[in-house]
């Protein structure tokens, strides 16, 4: 059905092209126009970003993150969880454009993160290294990048506790704290770090990384979800017994609410676990989470979620474009794995999300938005931090989803 529609519109484009100069986009069909729109805008915005960032730091070993209350760009150090996203976006821009300029920038910004391979101060090593070095290795295949990925997996593995069967997200003497006191906080976001572990086993043959990833995914599946398949943000374990102590939020509206980006990490995480293992339980879980999101009565018509599905101020509260971009990317992975009927539902929803994100409502006008691509994301409302701003990871997952969509169109689906 979908293929017939694509052919029908492509045919119209062919006829129209005889009269109106309708040109095929890189996505090959008019549907693919959003891919060109997004990447053309990314090229303009990141050119501006590189100029802007050069004014802030001469050594450049600080990476674009967001925009502060003073309207200036905020930058992250290399050990911040967001450090890999700008290099990763540069890799996506190179992948799309094949322009050597973007390859050189991607290599340069990726190289800043090399010391992160030995870092184990929090769980986000996977986000940081896989977005940057992981994409670099996927595109370049160089051994030096592979070595960084494997060493980073060793570092991340140091945060695994056999008793709990999961990776410790945050050290309890640092970072965000709970009023009840955390002993071994594991957050749903941690699912994304598993990709680094799965890939490290593939690249090294060392199955210990894979086993940690599977154990973490299983413990999270067991303890992080409510009966409706929404996810808690933080599950705090007893590190001596492995028992669950509390289920909390740090960034959501309340402990019982469904923080939108947490749901996004959950669906993305189980889709990647299925892709890495072929274990049907992970596919089923990812589909349940996707269905929870897509059928939620508080999901707006443009399919870009409010920052928390249960904020009582809906509709008078903030959207989170980052959650929309992550969910769109996850749904496009699911569209490649699910049975045909579900695949069509997920693909249609993802494309609608990408159309929304590529509209003036979210896509920055050229030369605005401090060099970021998307507007209207939320970092953490409870911490009064990064509210209704651009975020480097919204841009990263938007570009990733556009590339997945391009691959789907090229395959004729």
| Shortest separation between residue 126's beta carbon and ligand GLY, angstroms | 11
Element (H, E) at 161: strand 160-161
**295, two tokens:** 């059928």
- Under rule CB under 6 A, residue 248 binds ligand GLY: no
| Shortest separation between residue 261's beta carbon and ligand GLY, angstroms | 5
DSSP 413: -
- CA Rg value for the chain: 21
Residue number of the CB atom closest to ligand GLY? 189
Please state the separation of Cα 42 from the chain's center in Å.
17
Q: How far apart are CA 386 and CA 182, in angstroms?
A: 24
| Shortest separation between residue 307's beta carbon and ligand GLY, angstroms | 11
Closest CA to 259 of 320, 315, 198: 320
Task: Name residues contacting ligand GLY, limited to 60-119 (CB under 6 A).
Answer: 81
Residues 140-179: x where in contact with ligand GLY by CB under 6 A, - otherwise, as a string: ----------------------------------------
- Under rule CB under 6 A, residue 320 binds ligand GLY: no
Q: Which is nearer to ligand GLY, 95 or 308 (CB)?
A: 308
* 124 counts as catalytic: yes
**250, two tokens:** 């740090």
**49, two tokens:** 């970003």
Collapsing DSSP to helix, strand or coil, 254 comes out as coil
DSSP 306: B
Q: Which is nearer to ligand GLY, 65 or 261 (CB)?
A: 261
Residue given tokens 């769980």 in the structure block: 123
What does each C-alpha distance from 147 to 174, 309, 376, 379 come to in angstroms? 29, 40, 37, 32
**334, two tokens:** 């699911």
Collapsing DSSP to helix, strand or coil, 73 comes out as strand
| Shortest separation between residue 95's beta carbon and ligand GLY, angstroms | 24
Q: Which is nearer to ligand GLY, 313 or 383 (CB)?
A: 383
Catalytic residue among 36, 59, 173, 189: 189
| Shortest separation between residue 190's beta carbon and ligand GLY, angstroms | 8
Task: Name residues contacting ligand GLY, limited to 175-214 (CB under 6 A).
Answer: 189
Phi, psi dihedral angles at 238 (to 5 degrees) = -85, 115
Element (H, E) at 60: none
Q: Which is nearer to ligand GLY, 81 or 209 (CB)?
A: 81
Catalytic residue among 80, 124, 236, 308: 124
Q: Which is nearer to ligand GLY, 32 or 269 (CB)?
A: 269
Q: Which is nearer to ligand GLY, 94 or 397 (CB)?
A: 397
Q: Which is nearer to ligand GLY, 92 or 170 (CB)?
A: 170
- Under rule CB under 6 A, residue 261 binds ligand GLY: yes
What does each C-alpha distance from 225 to 82, 102, 182, 285 come to in angstroms? 25, 40, 19, 10
**236, two tokens:** 């705090």
What does each C-alpha distance from 15 to 18, 19, 20, 247 come to in angstroms? 6, 7, 9, 58
Q: How far apart are CA 401 and CA 83, in angstroms?
A: 19
Strands 63-67, 166-167: pairing is: unpaired
Task: Name residues contacting ligand GLY, limited to 20-39 (CB under 6 A).
Answer: none
Number of residues that bind ligand GLY (CB under 6 A): 4
Q: Which is nearer to ligand GLY, 176 or 203 (CB)?
A: 176
β strands within 232-384, DSSP E: 234-237, 244-248, 377-380
Catalytically active residues are 124, 189
Question: What are the residues binding ligand GLY (CB under 6 A)?
Answer: 81, 189, 251, 261
């Amino acid at each position: 059905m979908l293929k017939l529609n694509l052919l029908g519109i492509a045919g119209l484009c062919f006829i129209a092209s005889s009269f109106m100069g309708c040109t095929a986009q890189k996505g090959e069909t008019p549907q693919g126009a959003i891919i060109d729109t997004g990447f053309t805008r990314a090229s303009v915005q990141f050119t501006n970003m590189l100029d802007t960032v050069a004014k802030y730091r001469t050594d450049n070993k600080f990476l674009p993150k967001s925009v502060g209350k003073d309207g200036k760009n905020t930058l992250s150090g290399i050990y911040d969880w967001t450090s890999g996203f700008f290099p990763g976006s540069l890799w996506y821009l190179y992948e799309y454009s094949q322009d050597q300029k973007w390859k050189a920038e991607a290599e340069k910004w990726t190289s800043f993160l090399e010391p992160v391979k030995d870092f184990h101060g929090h769980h986000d090593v996977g986000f940081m290294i896989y977005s940057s070095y992981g994409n670099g290795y996927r595109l370049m295949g160089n051994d030096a990048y592979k070595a960084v990925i494997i060493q980073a997996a060793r570092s991340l593995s140091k945060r695994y506790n056999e008793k709990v069967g999961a990776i410790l997200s945050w050290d309890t003497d640092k970072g965000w704290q709970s009023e009840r006191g955390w002993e071994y906080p594991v957050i749903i976001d941690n699912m994304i770090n598993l990709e680094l572990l799965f890939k490290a086993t593939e690249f090294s043959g060392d199955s210990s990384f894979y086993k940690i990833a599977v154990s973490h995914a299983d413990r999270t599946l067991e303890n992080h979800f409510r009966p409706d398949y929404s996810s808690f943000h933080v599950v705090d374990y007893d590190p001596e017994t492995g028992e669950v102590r509390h289920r909390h939020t740090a960034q959501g509206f309340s402990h019982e609410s469904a923080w939108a980006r947490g749901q996004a990490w959950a669906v993305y995480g189980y889709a990647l676990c299925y892709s890495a293992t072929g274990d049907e339980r992970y596919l089923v879980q990812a589909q349940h989470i996707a269905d929870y999101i897509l059928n939620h009565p508080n999901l707006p018509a443009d399919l870009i979620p409010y920052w928390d599905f249960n904020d009582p101020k809906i509709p008078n509260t903030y959207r989170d474009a980052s959650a929309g971009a992550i969910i769109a990317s996850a749904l496009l992975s699911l569209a490649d794995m699910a049975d045909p009927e579900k695949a069509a539902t997920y693909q249609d929803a993802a494309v609608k999300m990408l159309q929304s994100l590529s509209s003036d409502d979210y896509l920055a006008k050229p030369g605005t938005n401090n060099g970021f691509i998307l507007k209207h994301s939320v970092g953490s409302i409870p911490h009064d931090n990064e509210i209704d701003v651009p975020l480097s990871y919204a841009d990263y997952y938007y570009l990733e989803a556009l590339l997945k969509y391009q691959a789907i169109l090229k395959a004729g689906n």
